[in-house]
Amino acid sequence: MALKIEKYREIKQELGDNVKLVAVSKIRTVEEIRLLYYLGQRDFAENYVQELIAKQMELPNDIRWHFIGHLQTNKVKYLAPFIYMIHGVDSFKLLEEINKQATLHQRSVKCLFQVHIAQEQTKFGLSDTELKELVVSLPKLKLINQLTNVKICGLMGMASFTEDTSLVRKEFKFLKCLFDDCRDEINLPTFKTLSMGMSGDYKIAVEEGSNMVRIGSLLFGARSV
């Protein structure tokens, strides 16, 4: 087991109370997650639906599960009974499906719009233009009134995978500007979360305004698969 307990405590102290630490536990064992849970961690993130479902069944019910992978609409029903936050919302269609499934389970699900800010074309997410169109249309068309069982909580983005820290900083700064603009436009009390920053770039993300970071390898060590 490669869990880095001292590193976890160091990062928690560094982030303080204003930045939420989400432990990325994909491809990690239930035992590793449980140990981090016993240290006080409650927010965990997964990328794959089936893996998340299997772990959720074995672990304590007060864990706040975050889904950070690309989510297809036909998979929402499997997460709706327990998911805390979905980070990768990239269409109104997906938002509608989350609302539908959450309603069936008499729950409310927190959602973040995923924005594509990186240079790589492989990453999912809304362009800045698509984001603005969606955010403007929600209050204008009174679509928010239809979404009684979702809470639109903010934005999520991933910077380019590069050693060029100036580029990473530029991308995070851009996402923060989008977040500020969207917050003013959408005018929702729940719109408070800016999820950006991972193991390799979370310090830059926090400097640029992130209040939620998603960290995996720094806590669990390098993956064996």
CATH number at residue 65: 3.20.20.10
Sequence-distant (6+) residues with CB within 8 A of 85 are 64, 65, 66, 67, 109, 110, 111, 112, 153
Task: Give residue-wise pLDDT tens across range 63-99.
Answer: 999 999 999 999 999 999 999 999 999 999 999 999 9
pLDDT band at 138 (very low <50, low <70, confident <90, very high): confident
The per-residue pLDDT of the chain, averaged, comes to 93
pLDDT, residue 175, reads 97
Q: Are 149 and 190 in contact (CB under 8 A)?
A: no
pLDDT, residue 24, reads 97
Radius of gyration of the chain (CA): 17
Task: Give residue-wise pLDDT tens across range 22-33.
Answer: 999 999 999 999
* Residue 129 included in any domain: yes
**Taking the complete model, does pTM exceed 0.85, yes or no?**
yes
CB atoms within 10 A of CB 158: 26
Looking at the 3D structure of the chain, how many domains does it have?
1
The parent domain of residue 99 ranges over 5-218
CB atoms within 10 A of CB 43: 16
pLDDT for residue 1 is more than 60: no
* Residue 128 included in any domain: yes
Task: Give residue-wise pLDDT tens across range 169-208.
Answer: 999 999 999 999 999 988 889 999 999 999 999 999 999 9
* Residue 223 included in any domain: no
> Which sign does the torsion angle of CA 39, 88, 51, 77 carry?
positive
Q: Are 152 and 191 in contact (CB under 8 A)?
A: yes
